Structure formats: structure tokens, C-alpha cells
Amino acid sequence: DQQVKQNSPSLSVQEGRISILNCDYTNSMFDYFLWYKKYPAEGPTFLISISSIKDKNEDGRFTVFLNKSAKHLSLHIVPSQPGDSAVYFCAASSSTSGTYKYIFGTGTRLKVLA
């Protein structure tokens, strides 16, 4: 049962344009969401997070939007740079689960073309 889904395995965007990565979840108890970026041969690195009490969180070129009614979140990268080329994972957790474990999606490979 895939509770966190990233339906686009890959995405290509021109440098300078906006990259939009999407993530859907099924568990309405999730109340904290994160995005991680992963380069080849490295572990994932934290990018940005959002709590369910917000619908938007911004950090520089990165903005995460949360639509609770649709159980959907998205990561916007503006402007996209070649160094943003990586695999992006969204993850979710529930404060009521008592475990605080993260459930990860399968990732979206972003390629930013120069």
C-alpha cells in the first residue's frame, strides 16, 4: 500500500524555467511533509518541509504547497538551475502514529537542461 505517491518518475525542464514536482498521499493522518533531494552516490539531503497547519512554505528558490483537501503537495523550484538535477523524494509523517517515521515516495528524477 503506497501511502505516498510520486506519479511522475522523471521531469525535464529548461534552465531558468519553473520545475513543479508533485506528490499525493492517501493517509489523512499525515500532518508533516518534507522534500529531500538525492544526488547519485550520496544520501538524501533535506530540502524543505511543511506542517499541515500551513498551505505554503518558501525557502529561497524552493516553495512547497500543500492542498489538504486534495491530499496533494507540490514543490516549485524557480528558477531551475542545472545543479538542481537530482532525484526528489517527498515524505510524510503523522504525529498521531507515535513513531514519527517518514513514509517516502518513489522519487522524481529532475533534469534541468542548460
Partner 1 sequence: DSGVTQTPKHLITATGQRVTLRCSPRSGDLSVYWYQQSLDQGLQFLIQYYNGEERAKGNILERFSAQQFPDLHSELNLSSLELGDSALYFCASTKAGGQYNEQFFGPGTRLTVL
21 phi and psi angles, rounded to 5 deg? -110, 135
Which three cell numbers, joined as nine digits, stand for 80?
531551475
Number of chain residues interacting with partner 1 (CB under 8 A): 29
Q: What is the DSSP letter of 55?
A: S
For residues 26 to 55, the per-residue mask of contacts with partner 1, x marking binding by CB under 8 A and - elsewhere, is ------x-x-x----xxxxxx--x-x----
In the set 21, 107, 110, 112, which binds partner 1 (CB under 8 A)?
A: 107
**CA pair distance 98, 36, nearest whole angstrom:** 22
Bridge partners for 76 per DSSP: 20, 63
Instruction: Examine residue 20 and tell whether it contacts partner 1 (CB under 8 A).
Output: no
State the residues that interact with partner 1 by CB under 8 A.
Answer: 4, 6, 9, 32, 34, 36, 41-46, 49, 51, 89, 91, 93-95, 98-107
